[in-house]
Amino acid sequence: MATAVPAPIPDRENMSLVQRMRMLTEEMRKNSEKIESLQQEIQFAHRARDVLLKQIDLGQKVASAITAAEEKSKQNNENADDPLPEEGIELEGEDAEAINDLQKQLANTELELATINIEKSLVMGDTTNLAGDDGGSSSYGGKKETTLLPIDRCLKSDRTTYAVPMDFPNSDERHYVFDGPLVVADNRTADEASFQASYPAAVTTLSMPRKLTGPTNNPKPGSFAAKTVESAVFGFGCFWCAESRFWHLPGVVSTQAGYCGGPTAFPTYSEVCRGVTNHAEVVRVQFQPSKISYREILRHFWIAHDPTKYCQQGNDSGSQYRSIIVYYNENQKQIAEETKAAFAKAVRKQFPEKYPASMDEDSIVRTEIVDGDQNVFYLAERKHQQYEAKPYAREYCGLRPLPIPLGLLQDI
């Protein structure tokens, strides 16, 4: 095995004074850059540490609130004729509101970590960690080491029922299509799956109950990420297929598969597939507006699927596969509505007999446009992230774009 040859040590004694000064100046410059870089690393590490401590505190509060609610419910039912249901206890009023508020705070800490990671990568000039590298990311939340919160149960669906999180892979999770459920086969061990999983470092992977994980909405105005990175959320069929339509675009720094558009807090894949939560499978695209515009990303959304179908894309049928745009500011809302109208106009021109001029826009294009502040984005399980890029991924694509010439889509 060849050994590296060390660089020759400068002979300082035979150097002129000018040469010495130049060499010392260069060494001082390099050391100064190293110190500045280390100081920035320390600042980001301190911020991430504070968020992680906040997560632990909120996790303990959620666990305590659930325990207290259980005890209170048991006391109220001691004299009741009916025993407590096995599937859990339904909470109402202040108890449910308090636990729900804590859950939202805990979910928002995931976004804080994601924001810190994106800011760190941009400031330090290293965006490789935002592309889903498998080689052991050094960014916050992307490490293979995990932080275990002291919670061993979690809220399920919109009821206050309790369940221990299932180990990965979850045999209960299937991908439903027209001709029956297709089981996502995965015979690897949990450790192998965790090591091989392709997952964006912009999203944290803490070992928490799945119900209490997942970044939520767009970064708050005024934050670094809000000025540098913008979020867009789209749903159009299976998120396995939809996510791959965006991650190659210049200016897109990360993509995440998730759920949005339903009232149920912290939904799971199996719940969404059964249609019990009313969520849609969606993709969150985080992009730099200085490199790619929201309108350009929307153009890729429109031409990638058939928005004239109601709750269906290809073989995938159900409310979870509906076409949906989630906006996070008035500018996004306006552009979404403008491009929807332009697409409806193009559909009329291409299919005048099926879609006459008398038919209104919403009857032609069935895409929902909803407010992100009213519809929380929940991160999907890790195995669904960048699914089509994984070496073990099953070849599948349920998208069936509408055959419209690009010339008719110039206004989008």
Task: Give the range of the structural domain holding residue 203, as residue numbers without chain letter.
Answer: 38-74+88-409
Helix (H, G, I), strand (E, B) or coil at 291: coil
Alpha-carbon distance of 136 to 81, in angstroms, equals 56
At a CB cut-off of 8 Å and minimum separation 6, what does 89 contact? 69, 70, 73, 160, 161
From residue 79, how far is each of 76, 160, 162, 367 by CA, in Å?
7, 21, 23, 51
Task: Of 134, 161, 160, give the one whose Cα is nearest residue 392.
Answer: 134
Beta bridge mates, 230 = 287
Alpha-carbon distance of 8 to 101, in angstroms, equals 63
Does 350 reside within a domain? yes
Token pair, residue 326, equals 């989630």
Does 32 reside within a domain? no
DSSP 223: S
HSE-up of 225 (CA within 13 Å, CB side)? 22
Alpha-carbon distance of 376 to 380, in angstroms, equals 13
Helix boundaries (H) for 168-293? 190-196, 224-228, 239-243, 269-273
Does 7 reside within a domain? no
User: Is position 397 annotated as part of the catalytic site?
Assistant: no
Phi, psi (deg, nearest 5) at residue 309: -80, 140
DSSP 94: H
> Tell me, what's the pLDDT at 143?
34
Beta bridge mates, 183 = 174
Yes or no: say if 210 and 149 are a contact pair by the CB < 8 Å rule.
Answer: no
From residue 154, how far is each of 16, 86, 166, 203, 215 by CA, in Å?
71, 15, 12, 21, 17
Does 236 reside within a domain? yes
SS (H, E, C) 233-248: EEECCCHHHHHCCCCC
Task: State the catalytic residue, choosing from 154, 238, 241, 260.
Answer: 238
Other C-beta atoms lying within 10 Å of the C-beta of residue 250: 9
Alpha-carbon distance of 223 to 241, in angstroms, equals 31
Longest dimension (CA), the chain: 98
> Tell me, what's the pLDDT at 183?
26
Residue labelled with tokens 């870089």: 37
Strand ranges, E, within 223-320? 230-235, 252-260, 280-287, 312-313, 316-317
CATH number at residue 294: 3.30.1060.10
Does 30 reside within a domain? no
Question: Regarding beta strands 324-327 and 230-235, do their DSSP bridges make them parallel or antiparallel, or are they unpaired?
Answer: antiparallel
> Tell me, what's the pLDDT at 227?
53
Alpha-carbon distance of 393 to 198, in angstroms, equals 11
Phi, psi (deg, nearest 5) at residue 233: -125, 130
Does 148 reside within a domain? yes
Number of domains into which the chain is organized: 1
> Tell me, what's the pLDDT at 404?
80
Does 22 reside within a domain? no
Beta bridge mates, 235 = 324
Does 5 reside within a domain? no
Alpha-carbon distance of 238 to 281, in angstroms, equals 6
pLDDT by residue for the chain (412 residues), tens only, comes to 555 555 555 555 556 777 778 888 888 888 888 888 888 888 888 888 888 888 888 878 877 887 777 777 777 766 555 554 444 455 566 777 777 777 778 777 777 777 777 777 776 665 444 444 333 333 333 333 322 222 222 222 222 222 222 232 332 332 222 222 222 223 333 433 343 343 333 222 222 233 333 333 444 444 444 457 899 999 999 999 899 889 889 999 999 999 999 988 889 999 998 888 899 999 999 999 999 999 999 999 999 999 999 888 888 888 999 999 999 999 999 999 999 999 999 999 889 889 888 888 888 999 999 999 999 999 999 888 888 887 766 666 778 888 887 777 877 7
Residue labelled with tokens 């004299």: 79
Alpha-carbon distance of 59 to 62, in angstroms, equals 5
Burial class (CB in 10 A: 0-12, 13-18, 19+), 86: exposed
Yes or no: say if 139 and 195 are a contact pair by the CB < 8 Å rule.
Answer: no
Helix (H, G, I), strand (E, B) or coil at 386: coil
